[in-house]
């Protein structure tokens, strides 16, 4: 009995120190977020960063695809070991990593619409299509606008956003620039609409930090160590730059 107790303590100590052998980590991954997460190929600027940070600490990511709105819930219900991307929630029982990625959302309009958007309040009464859970992620002022605006809607599949905007079926799209440009450059969208129409990106929102949430504190600590090693080595920036160059080359000329 004593030997079993010492073995358990030893294993726990190794886990906390990051010296235990490789472990599979089930991660709930939000879908429809390319180029951050390209789920049909299991790669992307955010996915590669999380995967490599875990690998550097001896762990293997096992992605569990889900809708963005279910990411935190799957972790809370114990279906996975970690979830991405998330923001810190007050009173949550999960353990949050250091910020591993920043999203930069814009209010995107056709230049031909001549809309002047300088603050979130300017969206009131406009037809607005945002990403799923935007009213929760983008702050109380945006949430209040969304609730009061009968022309506001959210789309889980962000490929719909550029189609609606370029077709003139919505005045404003709220999206991260990388995600919007990814879908705008896709064959599915380019076959349906004229994506060469000039756009305006209105900077109404500050950059948003996202984290990985873990059920286990020691695993969170291991991820943070791997993330720091990734940044210090320069590999983090190389991952970001590679996707940035690829996307820029694919954009409509």
Strand ranges (DSSP E) for the chain? Answer: 23-30, 59-66, 82-86, 95-96, 101-103, 105-110, 128-131, 152-155, 172-176, 199-202, 208-214
pLDDT tens by residue, 96-131: 999 999 999 999 999 999 999 999 999 999 999 999
* pLDDT at residue 16, as a whole number: 42
Question: What's the angle, vertex CA 68, arms to CA 201 and CA 66, rounded to 5?
Answer: 140
**Residue 235: pLDDT above 60?**
yes
Phi-psi group of 214: left, alpha or beta (phi > 0 → left; psi -120 to 50 → alpha; rest → beta) = beta
| Closest to 104 in 3D by CA, of 158, 36, 44, 154 | 36
Contact present, 208 and 63 (Cβ < 8 Å): no
* pLDDT at residue 244, as a whole number: 85
Q: What percent of the chain stands above pLDDT 70?
A: 89
Question: What's the angle, vertex CA 74, arms to CA 20 and CA 209, rounded to 5?
Answer: 80
pLDDT tens by residue, 139-167: 999 999 999 999 999 998 899 999 999 99
Q: What percent of the chain stands above pLDDT 90?
A: 79
Strand ranges (DSSP E) for 67-151? Answer: 82-86, 95-96, 101-103, 105-110, 128-131
Q: Which residue has the tokens 């930069």?
A: 104
* pLDDT at residue 232, as a whole number: 98
**Residue 9: pLDDT above 50?**
no
């Amino acid at each position: 009995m004593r030997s079993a107790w010492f073995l358990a303590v030893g294993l726990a100590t190794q886990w906390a120190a990051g010296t235990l052998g490789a472990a599979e980590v089930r991660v709930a991954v939000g879908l429809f977020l390319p180029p951050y997460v390209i789920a049909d190929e299991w790669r992307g600027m955010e996915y590669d960063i999380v995967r490599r940070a875990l690998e550097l600490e001896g762990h293997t990511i096992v992605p569990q695809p889900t809708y963005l709105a279910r990411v935190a819930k799957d972790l809370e219900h114990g279906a996975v070991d970690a979830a991405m991307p998330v923001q810190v929630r007050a009173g949550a029982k999960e353990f949050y990593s250091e910020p591993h990625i920043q999203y930069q959302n814009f209010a995107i309009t056709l230049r031909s619409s001549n809309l002047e958007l300088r603050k979130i309040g300017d969206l009131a009464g406009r037809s607005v299509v945002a990403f799923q859970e935007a009213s929760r992620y983008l702050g109380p002022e945006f949430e209040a606008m969304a609730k009061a605006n009968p022309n506001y809607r959210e789309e889980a599949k962000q490929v719909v956003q550029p189609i609606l905007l370029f077709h003139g079926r919505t005045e404003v799209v709220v999206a991260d620039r990388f995600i919007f440009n990814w879908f705008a450059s896709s064959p599915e969208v380019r076959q349906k609409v004229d994506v060469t129409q000039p756009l305006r990106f209105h900077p109404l929102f500050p950059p948003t930090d996202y984290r990985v949430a873990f059920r286990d504190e020691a695993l969170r600590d291991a991820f943070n160590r791997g993330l720091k090693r990734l940044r210090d080595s320069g590999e983090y920036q190389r991952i970001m730059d590679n996707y940035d160059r690829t996307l820029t080359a694919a954009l409509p000329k």
